[in-house]
Amino acid sequence: MSRPFDPGYLAEPFLTLCANYPEADVYPADQFRIEWGPIFHRGRLDGSARVLVIGQDPAQHETIVRRILVGEAGRRIQGLLAKIGVTRSYVFVNAYLYSVYGSVKAKTRKDPRLIDYRNRWFDALLVGSQVEAVVALGQAADEAWRLWKASSAAQSAAVAYAAVTHPTQPESSSKGEKVKLAAATKKLLQNWNTALQALSPSVQHPDVATPLAFYGDKWADGDRVAIPESDFPAGLPAWMHEQDGWAKRAGADDLAKRRNITLTVPTGIVT
């Protein structure tokens, strides 16, 4: 059986971007889990991307896989992309290289070194590229986009843009309350429908010609789409891309928890 994989960072400017990145002086350890290292991207770096998705920051599954948006949020975004026919020609980067710990101070967010480095990724992915649309997930991503748009390199870029509600905002805002979750999900899907209308006319080269179908009031079959195996590094087991919840932060106190990631192979794999 063939197991396609993502070869990663094999050409410039990505080789340089992945060898020279901001560390603790730019991403302070009281605001970011810098101890786990930066996680850079997911998707196409070979110029074939038609859509750029900007996420927020990586979590624990991303830390192990070393690719971003590989869990539930990722599957929801794959679904959004599929609705505009983009099944492969996408690339994802985050507003932040490291996982947010607590909250990010304004001074950090506005640090020119943080912004300049991120803008070099945007330059690499957007200037003179085939990208036709950009989607920002949540506020930090939207701010990242606007800061890049204000840069001189961005002036020639003409792409459709939609800032959307972060894919797991319903869960994080409702904290387990079912009624709240349903209402927040409905609101998110309406927000995403608006984005589909804005983005769809601009995506002129989808991977698969797809008639536009809007979301309903809740997640329906097919709205969440599996993350392709070919987005993951070589040799990772299938459960790492097919399943969720296999990486947790555990510990008796905040420090122990911060220092820990516990991996558990899902039930039914080892028998």
- The single-letter code of the amino acid at 164 is V
Asked if 94 and 68 count as a contact pair (C-beta separation under 8 A), the reply is yes
Q: How far is the CB of 78 from a second copy (least distance, A)?
A: 21
**β-sheet with 51-55: strand ranges across:** 41-43, 90-94, 51-55, 133-137, 160-164
CB nearer a second copy, residue 179 or residue 255: 255
Min dist CB 117 to a second copy, Å, is 13
Residues 32-91 that bind a second copy (CB under 8 A): 34-40, 64, 66
Q: Which is nearer to a second copy, 212 or 269 (CB)?
A: 269
Instruction: Answer for the pair 204, 220: CB distance below 8 angstroms, yes or no.
Output: no
Total residues contacting a second copy by CB under 8 A comes to 44
Residues whose CB falls within 8 Å of the CB of residue 4, separated by 6 or more in sequence, listed in order: 228, 229, 230
C-beta of 98 vs 192, nearer to a second copy: 98
Whichever of 12 and 221 has its CB closer to a second copy, that residue is: 12
**Distance from the first to the final alpha carbon of the chain:** 22
Would you call 85 helix, strand, or coil by DSSP? coil
SS3 category, 149:
helix
Token pair 């800032």: residue: 163
252 touching a second copy, by CB under 8 A: no
Nearer to a second copy, 150 or 226 (CB): 226
Nearest residue (CB) to a second copy, 181 versus 261? 261
Residue type at position 112: P
SS3 113: helix
Whether 164 and 195 have beta carbons less than 8 Å apart is answered as: yes
Q: Give yes or no for residue 183 binding a second copy (CB under 8 A).
A: no
Instruction: Please tell me the distance from the alpha carbon of residue 223 to that of residue 20, in angstroms, as a whole number.
Output: 37
CB-wise, 187 or 258, nearer to a second copy?
Answer: 258
223-242: contacts with a second copy (CB under 8 A): 233-237, 239-240
Q: Does 24 bind a second copy (CB under 8 A)?
A: no
Cβ 229 to a second copy, closest distance in Å? 10
Q: What minimum distance in Å lies between the beta carbon of 262 and a second copy?
A: 5
Nearest partner of 83 among 242, 229, 189, judged by Cα: 189
Least CB distance to a second copy at residue 261 (A): 5
Secondary structure element (H or E) that encloses residue 51, with its range = strand 51-55
Query: Which residues ranging from 190 to 229 are in contact with a second copy (CB under 8 A)?
Result: none
CB under 8 A: which stretch of 19-27, 78-86, 102-110, 164-172 binds a second copy? 19-27
The single residue among 5, 143, 181, 182 that binds a second copy, judged by CB under 8 A, is 5
Sign of the CA dihedral with 226 first, then 228, 233, and 236 last? positive
Which chain residues interact with a second copy by CB under 8 A?
1-5, 7-10, 15, 18-21, 23, 29, 34-40, 64, 66, 233-237, 239-240, 255, 258-265, 269-271
